[in-house]
Structure 1
Amino acid sequence: MPHTRWTRVRTVVNWVNLSTPLGLALARAGGATVVRRGRGTWVAGGYRWGFPRAGAFTVGSVFVSGRDVDDLLGRPALLRHEDRHCTQYAWCIGPAMLVPYLLGVLVSWTVAGDHHSYNPFERLANLADGDYPPPSTRFRRR
């Protein structure tokens, strides 16, 4: 995907709101190898900390994962999903995004028993692109 006017603005916003510097610091502290991807984003593979429990997560414009960087770069759908989270960080004023995101996790956990099915942030980032199964619910019709 090409770098657009919006992704340039998003990149600046995520640096100014300190979410990208936080993401880079977290990735490096967790032992990840960090590479520039384009569109103002970074990919950090080989993250060794067990928190948060996720195959990949985004902080600012940094995608962080325990997977190898080359594996991540070879997964365009996952990169699109995480790229959408970069935009969410810009719209939600950086690290402040964690509060509504965690509320979304709580709602999803209550309804479906997982952190993603009914979390608006994950749904807007496209669940399928993030390798999530189709949404489920704890409540079944009889």
Structure 2
Amino acid sequence: MTAGERLRRYLNLINLSTLVGLAVAKAAGCSLQPGPRGLLVAQGYTWPVPKASAFTLGNVVLLRPTAAHLAANSVLMGHEARHSTQYACCLGLPFLPLYGVAALWSLLRTGDLASRNIFERWAGLREGGYCERPVRRRRTKN
């Protein structure tokens, strides 16, 4: 682990986001294992929300049973590591409502939750498996 990854791990522990990730993983019956870049991988997430194959809470990456192979995908894990860094930069759990607002903005602008979501863009749209959708044109009154 790099010094930055160790710092991120520490910050996400003290800001409680990793502890929330561990609690969700335990409650969902996930198995935990060490992952790359100081992340923890929780496999077997089956709750209905969010619908994503993989998502991050602090330093915990939760994977659905059908997405267990993604733990070995270094590109996706890099994307999830950037989300983990975003938790640290947002002081932990405030990341969640901020992400929600960004997703809503993206949905309004493009019809897609990720295309104009600043957090997904900073984490890398393509690395996260997203396609960039064009911004919808505003209708003008004549």
Mark yes or no: TM-score above 0.5.
yes
| Cα distance, 1:6 vs structure 2 | 1.0
Count of residues paired in the alignment: 139
Counterpart-to-counterpart distance in 1, 2:86 and 2:70: 20
Q: Who wins on radius of gyration, i.e. which is larger? A: 2
The DSSP-based 3-state class of the residue aligned with 1:39 is helix
Question: Which residue in the other structure is 1:87 paired with?
Answer: 85
CA contact (8 A) 1:40 1:61 kept: yes
2:96 aligned partner: 98
Q: Distance in 1 between matches of 2:17 and 2:78?
A: 19
TM-score normalized with structure 2 length:
0.90
Task: For 1:136 and 1:19, locate their aligned partners in 2 and report how far apart those are by CA, in whole Å.
Answer: 33
SS at structure 2 position matched to 1:138: coil
User: Which residue of structure 2 aligns with residue 130 of structure 1?
Assistant: 128
Q: After superposition, what is the alpha-carbon deviation per residue over 1:15-59, rounded to whole angstroms, capped at 9, x for unaligned?
A: 000000100110121121111114321011110101112121100
2:64 aligned residue: 66
For 1:43 and 1:49, how far apart are their aligned partners in 2?
16
Larger CA deviation: 5-14 vs 27-36: 27-36
5+ residue gaps, structure 1: none
SS in 1 for 2:19: helix
Q: Which amino acid aligns with 2:125?
A: L
The counterpart of 2:17, out of the listed 16, 19, 40, is: 19
- Supply the distance in 2 between the matched residues of 1:125 and 1:5 (Cα, whole angstroms): 20
Structure 2, unpaired ranges of 5+: none
8 A Cα contact 2:46 2:65, kept in partner: no
CA distance in 1 between partners of 2:110 and 2:53 (Å): 19
Q: Which amino acid aligns with 2:55?
A: F
What's the counterpart of residue 113 of structure 1? 111
Mapped to 2, the partners of 1:11 and 1:69 lie a distance apart of: 24
Counterpart residue number, 1:30: 28
**Alpha-carbon shift at residue 135 of structure 1 (Å):** 2.9
Aligned mates of 1:122, 1:40 — CA distance in 2: 20
C-alpha change, 1:91 and 1:14, in structure 2 (3 Å) is same
Paired amino acid for 1:24 = L
CA-based RMSD:
1.8
Q: 1:78 corresponds to which residue?
A: 76
Q: Distance in 1 between matches of 2:111 and 2:67?
A: 30
